[in-house]
Amino acid sequence: MPHEGNLLQAAVVFLLAAVLTVPLAKRLQLGAVLGYLFAGVIIGPSVLGLIGNPQSVAQFSELGVVLLLFIIGLELSPKRLWVMRKAVFGVGLAQVLLTGLVMGGVALWLFGQSWNSAIVLGLGLALSSTAFGLQSLAERKELNQPHGRLAFAILLFQDIAAIPLIAMVPLLAGGDHPSTQAQGVQHVLQILGSIAVVIIGGRYMLRPVFRIVAKTGLREVSTATALLVVIGTAWLMELVGVSMALGAFLAGLLLADSEYRHELESQIEPFKGLLLGLFFISVGMGANLSLLLSSPLVVIGLTLLLIGLKLPLLYAVGRLVGDLNRESALRLGVVLAAGGEFAFVVFKIGRDQGLFEPHLYDILVLTITLSMAVTPLLLLVCPKLFKPKVKPLEVPEEYRTIQSDAPRVVIAGMGRMGQIVARILRAQNISFIALDTSVETIELTRSFGGMPV
């Protein structure tokens, strides 16, 4: 456990590095993510060595990814997820299998890896970075564009696919005797049991808890409850060997239809931003730059090979399976071409199980980190390839008729006047949604024929 002085010193170093590098990166139009990465490299053991042990912050910083996935879950209702099933399970599965097959084939025949190492390498490198991809899309306000929606669907499938892959690595390392198989079955049952606990608990326990907390009117208690739900679910999932991020996503998904959704989102957003920044800093700190100096051609060559293989495959998947146009498919490829944070976990287990040597693991980690660093630069180049043609100004067809989604009216406050307005709107069959801060008012008006409050 670090000394109290060391902890304060580490906090000062992290905050100072972020404050100095991130605004500079944003000024140079490189994006905040690259700024955090550079900050991590500078303060890490490879350059200044201000933080000696990057692993000490890695686990804490993973909470950033956990909170990101929770907020994504909050913005997705189960109904919307069902609507996205083709993109998530169709396009996502196609991308992971196709990329895994090609990457595995290259590892097997070009680099002479054994078949079980090649499977782990292929599927591990097929995964992309959820935190990197979504943060880059959010910065550029592209999450609601066709390539942004498809990128999100693919990343969601990859997060789900990472669970069986992590469970599969020890089996591929040679554990094929009956006791190992029995442990595998037991592990799967534990995972299913914990997911069932999260779903049942989220459905029947969370809303009454939030109702009680909201009645106290204390903002800090509300924030603590929100963090407890996220971190508690993530911890439960980690206990049974599932990714913390997927557990948090499930918790968010269960609260997506809750009347406390916006409150939760506003309270967790500041923590998410800071911890996600810390995650990117820890990725930068973990890069072994001495390898880049000792064998630069190998590392740079592997990084270019990773992006050079993955980008065309993602482009093909986007065009053929995802029905994207050329520009959107290329943007999809650029966003997801880098390696992902789950690959660090998969390859670490592979190294511990003896599937590949520590030197190869270090090279893989540096390659994935460099591929992440290149992504913002590729995103800058992308718009220059597709400069929009100047057309004479005319009103597009879709703007001539207004497509108005329900609800069409927002009622701010459900006091006496709000209730009168709500009754008039309901009588006229005009859809509306009402907002209020009083739990008693919400409960009362909801009891009158299920008003959307």
Read off φ and ψ for residue 260, nearest 5 degrees: -100, 10
Burial of 14 from C-beta contacts in 10 A (0-12 / 13-18 / 19+):
buried
Residue 387 has what pLDDT? 60
Give the pLDDT score at 131.
78
Dist. CA 388–CA 263, nearest whole Å: 40
- pLDDT digit string (tens) for 31-75? 777 788 888 888 888 788 887 676 667 667 778 878 877 887 787
Local mean pLDDT, 10-residue blocks, the chain (453 residues): 63 86 82 81 83 70 79 77 86 93 92 88 90 82 87 87 78 60 70 80 78 83 85 82 76 78 82 81 80 87 93 92 88 90 81 83 87 83 65 54 64 84 84 79 71 76
pTM listed for this prediction: 0.70
pLDDT of 179: 52
pLDDT reported for residue 404 = 54
Token look-up 């991308």 returns 95
pLDDT for 353-407, tens place per residue? 888 888 888 888 889 888 888 887 888 887 777 665 545 555 555 555 555 556 5
Positive or negative: CA dihedral 417, 420, 426, 429: negative
Cα separation, 39 vs 344, in Å, equals 20
Select from 218, 268, 209 the least CA-distant residue to 74: 268
* Omega before 407 within 30 of 0, i.e. cis: yes
pLDDT for residue 389: 53
Domain ranges of the chain: 4-385, 404-447
CATH topology of domain 4-385: Na+/H+ antiporter like fold (1.20.1530)
Q: Which amino acid is at 256?
A: A
Alpha-carbon span 147 to 90, nearest angstrom: 15
Question: Taking the alpha carbons of 208, 212, 217, 218 in that order, is the dihedral positive or negative?
Answer: negative
